[in-house]
Amino acid sequence: MQARSRPFNHNGRALEVHAVPVISGNFVTGWRVRVLENGRPITGVVYNVSWDTAIDAALQEPPADLVDELMRNAQAAVERGYDRLY
């Protein structure tokens, strides 16, 4: 699994939503999503989804990409002012 990122601008700041796999031993156990600026977290909020839950959602009909959903939620929370920026 590779990290995912999506850049966006908010109030003149160049930000990115970044999702990284959580690895325990040799296995991916989930995903962690944060909003970054210049590679550093800018909110105190961390979004997480377990590997099992993400796979279960992907196998449903219609399939859902929960990592992408978390990334969209993290961006929306910043844009709507729900998550306070450092």
Question: Which pLDDT tens digit goes with each residue over 33-49?
Answer: 999 999 999 999 999 99
Task: Please provide the average confidence, as pLDDT, over all residues in the chain.
Answer: 96
Domain count, the chain: 1
Interval 61-78: pLDDT, tens: 999 999 999 999 999 999
Whether residue 64 lies inside any domain: the answer is: yes
pTM for the model stands at 0.92
Q: Taking residues 22-39, report their average pLDDT.
A: 96
pLDDT for 59 equals 95
**Cβ atoms < 10 Å from Cβ of 35:** 23
Whether residue 84 lies inside any domain: the answer is: no
Whether residue 85 lies inside any domain: the answer is: no
Segments forming the whole domain that contains residue 12: 4-79
pLDDT for 1 equals 72
Write the CA distances from 42 to 50, 54, 61, 84, integer angstroms: 23, 25, 35, 8
